[in-house]
Structure 1
């Protein structure tokens, strides 16, 4: 009898362990997969039954949830649509969320670890669960100015606060209206998404932080100048032969300055003049003398070759390993295989503006519970110290000269000292140029920095140039934020 009982007990124990194991696998190991399964409509409806927290700019919602009468309970709305689309992103009923909606989804949906006790309290009190609100660092004036100044160009504008790393504006065009991707009709969402996916200019791409990255062209000269001055072997007055053309070592190809001719007058040209007038030949000569190793090391100190979280992921800008002098020469003025996002170049100019200290870029000011209890509050964080304060001041003076009398004069603002650098990058023998500007103001006490990218030559093919298109955009943005 005891033997039979033991057998039954063993069978029951095995069945219990099997049930426990399968339940554990389903509830723990497979929970994320099951929740993500598009066929799991209960989970989908449940995720929308919570009132998702708003995304705010200056206390005003740029993303919010409103009650509905359907199974989703709440509808996500974006009051200013396209203006903030690349900041908010969107959360569709079928598909992956983007922007802040994706990167801070656990806070907005009320499912983060920090909100656990709030969820328990909601259950005990019978209150409807609610997500946390996210206040972003975006400044409404800066965002509107950046959006307006970029106009119909394909590109991006990023405005930052050099002393803190706060991102005050992030615009990418062409843009899109996130409202069409947040409706509760799955077929309508798919149709709208497919239309945007096939639209000219890839409007779903946030050019500020990713996409098909562009060569930075002459604004990369700021990185090369940083490497040269920090090496201790060069000063702003270090000079090079002032040539009208420069044949690349071991190659039949030649480098010319923009517009042809030499870099100003005289038989030699200084680093300071090469930066101010944006000349390629002296920078190519400098690049060969320096070598690609020190240039790459400086680029990486500024943030190249790694991804950044703002909290959205910023695609890694690249400076490759180069063993050839000819390619090193090309890389010294932002060509060859050098690629950069506007956000990365904003980190470079912020470091120069902030006395050699690069602050980590950040898009989130605070995260707050529905009862106004703070969950997280933004604190400035140092990313790196690529250059000394002395080097930062010397490069700043080169950039001021560029705006006053050099290659960036269209960024001039009456009564304000502006430090700036333009770039006009080649993409191929017959391809339109990529145009850039990066700079800050006031130069003596930088409050704002702006980085502008315009693709496809601004519609002018290979006749467009940085001072003609991107410098005026930067001027318009800086005037708006300085006068607010």
Structure 2
């Protein structure tokens, strides 16, 4: 009898230990992941029973919760939905969230670990629970200027303060109205989602940092030139043969410069000339001498091949880890399998503007509890050093020359030295080009870096050129900041 009792007691004890361990894992280890899981309807419905915190730009709400007359108590409202949709994303009843509504959901809903004492205080005092407010780094004037400059083009614009990493504009088009997702009708939400998801223009994608990325074209020449000069084996005056066409090794494929002519006069062309005039052949020859490993290492210093949270999660820009010789030469002017986001190309410009240092890009200025206590405060953080100060100074000079009397001259601003680089990227035989611009101003003491991408050739197919479309867009955004 005692033996059987011991067995039963042992089994009960083991069951108790197993229960204790499993509940501990759920309540301590896995709690954050479970709360963030979009399938957790309990957390979602609880978040609707509390007033969700606002998302603010310059102190004004671009997303807020208002009382509703249904069982959910509050209705999410986006005051200028299409303009800020890439930033806010949307909040839905039970179909998941996107944008900051997703990445900062625990703060906005008031359920983060950092708000535990606020939750306790609300229970003790009988106050209605309320989420934290999130103040963004976005500048509403610059955001509107970027929106207006992009116009009806399919593409994106991002602007960042290089000294701090603050993102002051983030625009992606086509866009959508997040108010359509905030309704308390699941069938209507699903219908809206299906309609937008099946829209071939892709309005749900935030093109500034995610989705199907584009080849960066000649803007990637900044990465290759930086790799060469920072290696110490090349200078801006290093020269290469200057034919009008060049047959890639191991193939019969020929490449040419954009105008199908040599890169300026003479039998040779320097790195400086190739960047200023945006020539492909000298950069391909440079890439051949550097080799893909050197280019890969430099690209990784800029942030390629890794996702960066701003806190929106970005799609990692890509420089392939293995390339053969002809593909390496194509990659040297942003073709082959190279892919980049505007965020990534803005980080390339940021490194050059900052004397070689990249600051971590960030969208959030501060997070305040409902009683205005600071939960988090933005602090500028160094992301990485991408090159030496001397190399950055040289690259800055090359970009200034590109705007002053080169391929990017349509970004010129009277009385201001602008540093810039255009890129017109190919996407396949007969496909429209992707049009790029990245740069900063004033060159001597940069206040802002900008990156612009226009897809589908700006509606002009292969007649669309970055100098005619993307560079003027970048110029307008730079002017909006300088005129503040």
The residue that corresponds to 2:288 in the other structure is: 288
In 2, Cα distance between the equivalents of 1:34 and 1:104?
12
Q: What is the root-mean-square deviation of aligned Cα atoms in Å?
A: 2.4
Q: Relative to structure 1, is the Cα distance of residues 131 and 265 closer, same or farther in structure 2, using a 3 angstrom cutoff?
A: same
Deviation at 1:305, TM superposition (A): 0.6
Q: Is the 8 A contact 2:38 2:96 kept in 1?
A: no
Tell me, yes or no, if structure 1 residue 170 matches structure 2 residue 167. Answer: no
Tell me, yes or no, if structure 1 residue 440 matches structure 2 residue 440. Answer: yes
In 2, Cα distance between the equivalents of 1:37 and 1:305?
27
The residue that corresponds to 2:198 in the other structure is: 198
The residue that corresponds to 1:342 in the other structure is: 342
In 2, Cα distance between the equivalents of 1:14 and 1:242?
82
In 1, Cα distance between the equivalents of 2:207 and 2:93?
25
Tell me, yes or no, if structure 1 residue 424 matches structure 2 residue 444. Answer: no
In 2, Cα distance between the equivalents of 1:39 and 1:376?
26
Deviation at 1:35, TM superposition (A): 9.1
Tell me, yes or no, if structure 1 residue 247 matches structure 2 residue 247. Answer: yes
Q: Write out per-residue CA displacement over residues 366-398 of structure 1, whole angstroms, 9 at most, x where no aligned residue.
A: 111111111111111111111111111111111
Select between 22-31 and 61-70 the one with higher mean Cα deviation. 22-31
The residue that corresponds to 2:23 in the other structure is: 24
Correspondence 1:83-482 to 2 at 5 A: 83-482=83-482
Q: Is the 8 A contact 2:34 2:40 kept in 1?
A: no
Q: Is the 8 A contact 1:423 1:435 kept in 2?
A: yes
Q: Is the 8 A contact 1:160 1:168 kept in 2?
A: yes
Correspondence 1:61-76 to 2 at 5 A: 61-76=61-76
Q: Secondary structure at the match of 2:278?
A: coil
Q: Relative to structure 1, is the Cα distance of residues 108 and 471 closer, same or farther in structure 2, using a 3 angstrom cutoff?
A: same
Q: Secondary structure at the match of 1:423?
A: strand
Number of residues of Structure 1 aligned to a counterpart in Structure 2: 482
Q: Write out per-residue CA displacement over residues 314-342 of structure 1, whole angstroms, 9 at most, x where no aligned residue.
A: 11101002342111110000000000011
Correspondence 1:35-50 to 2 at 5 A: 40=41, 43-50=43-50
Q: Is the 8 A contact 1:157 1:451 kept in 2?
A: yes
Deviation at 1:210, TM superposition (A): 1.1
Q: Write out per-residue CA displacement over residues 344-379 of structure 1, whole angstroms, 9 at most, x where no aligned residue.
A: 111100000011101111111111111111111111
Q: Secondary structure at the match of 1:468?
A: coil
Q: Is the 8 A contact 1:45 1:71 kept in 2?
A: no
Q: Relative to structure 1, is the Cα distance of residues 310 and 39 closer, same or farther in structure 2, using a 3 angstrom cutoff?
A: closer
Question: TM-score normalized by structure 1?
Answer: 0.95
Select between 315-324 and 167-176 the one with higher mean Cα deviation. 315-324
Q: Secondary structure at the match of 2:438?
A: strand
In 2, Cα distance between the equivalents of 1:8 and 1:439?
75
In 2, Cα distance between the equivalents of 1:36 and 1:228?
46
In 1, Cα distance between the equivalents of 2:47 and 2:458?
43
In 2, Cα distance between the equivalents of 1:272 and 1:12?
78
Deviation at 1:37, TM superposition (A): 7.9
Structure 2 gaps, min length 5:
none
Q: Write out per-residue CA displacement over residues 377-433 of structure 1, whole angstroms, 9 at most, x where no aligned residue.
A: 111111111111111111111111111111011111111111100000001011110
Question: TM-score normalized by structure 2?
Answer: 0.95
